[in-house]
């Protein structure tokens, strides 16, 4: 790249900040599998690396790019989105109180209710979008973390990050936002007042359904961030160098993939909004969505590739529709180039807040007309 100091998001992603393999002038940095690093004769480490558990060179590029995308001060990679999220809670202390929404990633909610509680953490769950309930749930002097996910999986309720940040600041708590679905291409929570941002990098950041990864970004390198770093170092829940390299490969096309998925998801939502066999289309980009005003302020450049449909006829009919789909594969996960469908209630279990007639759709980068035809054929039996 030239000596120009600032570039657009698309340019930084596509060019990987201009990083190259300096040894052989390859335009793509190499993979560094070494687990350990040699000391100098005086016992020092000339490159500042001791052991690869959290110091592998393949972490540097995606961490720096992700911190830049989220307008944060630093970033950490983890072995999965769950590992990233749990490290935040493990950095808290027994007896600390957390407030989180009722509709959120189910595996993390279950962790808070089980292993998190076993470790001494207390969590209150509030209705998504209810700021009064959020304020009432805060315990002065005890609440240390507000955790939010927006849009919320799988109902796609959109909470107001700035409003949550005001509550967090008043209570002296940190605000962490799961930004997996929106990605920094569409929403940058730190700009709206968040202290921490979490990603299941398995999803849109990688975008090819072939890497398990997670990431955290911090607004500032404070004491709590340093504590999270110690949790990561001690636990060792980090990526292998090849997985980190694959993640970086996927991140280069993030802008293109998110834009395509957003455009296609909007087309799908509009095509199905008035379908006679659908009870409701849940997509934050529709003007009929109850949170559209918040969404329009908080998201820019699109509304994401995720939506859900509630099928008339109840649970069995929803399952039958999913079974009739051809292009949408029946599989867990989201954010890949291929479109996926999932009946969330049967996955999450009896305590799920998810309606039993709901199908979650992850719209990929296929032709939108083909996807719409596939859905309509399945709905019409």
Strands 74-78 and 214-218: antiparallel
**The domain that contains 273 carries what CATH number?**
3.90.1150.10
Q: Confirm whether 51 is a catalytic residue.
A: no
Q: Tell me, yes or no, whether 79 lies in a domain.
A: yes
Q: Which of 178, 195, 357, 374 is catalytic?
A: 178
Residue 3 has a pLDDT of 55
**274 in the same domain as 140:** no
**211 in the same domain as 318:** no
**147 in the same domain as 73:** yes
Task: Please return the burial class of 316, using the count of CB atoms within 10 Å of its CB with bins 0-12, 13-18 and 19+.
Answer: exposed
**234 in the same domain as 165:** yes
Q: Confirm whether 37 is a catalytic residue.
A: no
Q: Tell me, yes or no, whether 2 lies in a domain.
A: no
**316 in the same domain as 280:** yes
**287 in the same domain as 166:** no
**The domain that contains 247 carries what CATH number?**
3.40.640.10
Q: Confirm whether 105 is a catalytic residue.
A: yes
Q: Which of 227, 251, 275 is the last residue of a domain?
A: 251
Strands 278-282 and 306-311: antiparallel
**129 in the same domain as 60:** yes
CB atoms within 10 A of CB 350: 5
Strands 306-311 and 358-362: antiparallel
Residue 5 has a pLDDT of 65
Q: Which of 76, 105, 204, 283 is catalytic?
A: 105
Q: Which of 203, 219, 260, 360 is catalytic?
A: 203
Domain count, the chain: 2
Residue 51 and residue 59: Cα distance in Å, rounded?
Answer: 13
From the list 62, 93, 59, 115, the residue with the least C-alpha distance to 238 is 59
Dihedral sign for Cα atoms in the order 33, 16, 152, 187 = positive
Q: Tell me, yes or no, whether 73 lies in a domain.
A: yes
Q: Which of 191, 221, 251 is the last residue of a domain?
A: 251
Q: Tell me, yes or no, whether 1 lies in a domain.
A: no
Q: Which of 37, 49, 51, 53 is catalytic?
A: 53
Q: Tell me, yes or no, whether 4 lies in a domain.
A: no
Q: Confirm whether 136 is a catalytic residue.
A: no
**295 in the same domain as 178:** no
Q: Tell me, yes or no, whether 301 lies in a domain.
A: yes
Q: Tell me, yes or no, whether 219 lies in a domain.
A: yes
Structural domain containing residue 369: 254-379
Q: Tell me, yes or no, whether 3 lies in a domain.
A: no
**163 in the same domain as 74:** yes
Each of the 381 residues of the chain gets a pLDDT tens digit; together they read 445 567 888 998 999 888 888 888 889 999 999 999 888 988 888 888 888 888 899 999 999 999 999 999 999 999 999 999 999 999 999 999 999 999 999 999 999 999 999 999 999 999 999 999 999 999 999 999 999 999 999 999 999 999 999 999 999 999 999 999 999 999 999 999 999 999 999 999 999 999 999 999 999 999 999 999 999 999 999 999 999 999 999 999 999 999 999 999 999 999 999 999 999 999 999 999 999 999 999 999 999 999 999 999 999 999 999 999 999 999 999 999 999 999 999 988 888 889 999 999 999 999 999 999 999 999 998
**305 in the same domain as 216:** no
Q: Which of 251, 276, 298 is the last residue of a domain?
A: 251
Q: Would the pTM count as exceeding 0.85?
A: yes
**308 in the same domain as 242:** no
**208 in the same domain as 341:** no
């Amino acid at each position: 790249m030239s000596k120009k100091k600032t570039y657009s998001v698309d340019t930084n992603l596509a060019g990987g900040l201009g990083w190259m393999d300096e040894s052989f002038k390859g335009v793509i940095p190499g993979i560094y599998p070494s687990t350990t690093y040699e000391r100098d004769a005086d016992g020092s480490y000339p490159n500042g690396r001791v052991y690869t558990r959290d110091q592998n060179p393949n972490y540097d590029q995606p961490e720096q790019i992700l911190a830049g995308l989220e307008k944060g001060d630093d970033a950490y990679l983890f072995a999965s989105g769950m590992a990233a999220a749990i490290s935040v809670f493990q950095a808290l202390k027994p007896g600390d109180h957390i407030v989180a929404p009722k509709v959120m990633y189910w595996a993390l909610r279950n962790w808070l209710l089980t292993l998190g509680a076993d470790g001494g953490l207390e969590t209150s769950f509030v209705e998504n979008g209810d700021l009064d309930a959020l304020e009432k749930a805060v315990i002065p002097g005890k609440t240390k973390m507000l955790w939010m996910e927006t849009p919320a999986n799988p109902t796609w309720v959109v909470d107001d990050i700035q409003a949550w940040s005001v509550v967090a600041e008043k209570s002296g708590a940190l605000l962490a936002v799961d930004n997996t679905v929106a990605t920094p291409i569409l929403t940058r929570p730190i700009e709206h007042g968040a202290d921490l941002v979490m990603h299941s990098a398995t999803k849109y950041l990688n975008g090819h359904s072939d890497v398990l990864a997670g990431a955290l970004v911090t607004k500032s390198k404070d004491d709590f961030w340093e504590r999270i770093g110690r949790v990561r170092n001690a636990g060792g829940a980090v990526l292998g160098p090849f997985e980190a390299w694959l993640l970086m490969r996927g991140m280069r096309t993030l802008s293109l993939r998110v834009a395509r998925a957003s455009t296609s998801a909007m087309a799908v939502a509009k095509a199905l909004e008035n379908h006679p066999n659908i009870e409701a289309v849940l997509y934050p980009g529709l003007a009929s969505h109850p949170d559209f005003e918040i969404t329009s302020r908080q998201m820019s450049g699109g509304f994401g590739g995720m939506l859900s449909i509630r099928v008339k006829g109840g649970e069995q009919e929803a399952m039958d529709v999913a079974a009739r789909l051809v292009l949408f594969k029946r599989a867990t996960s989201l954010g890949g180039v291929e479109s996926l469908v999932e009946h969330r209630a049967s996955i999450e279990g009896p305590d799920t807040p998810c309606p039993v007639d709901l199908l979650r759709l992850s719209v990929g980068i296929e032709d939108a007309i083909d996807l719409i035809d596939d859905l309509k054929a399945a709905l019409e039996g």
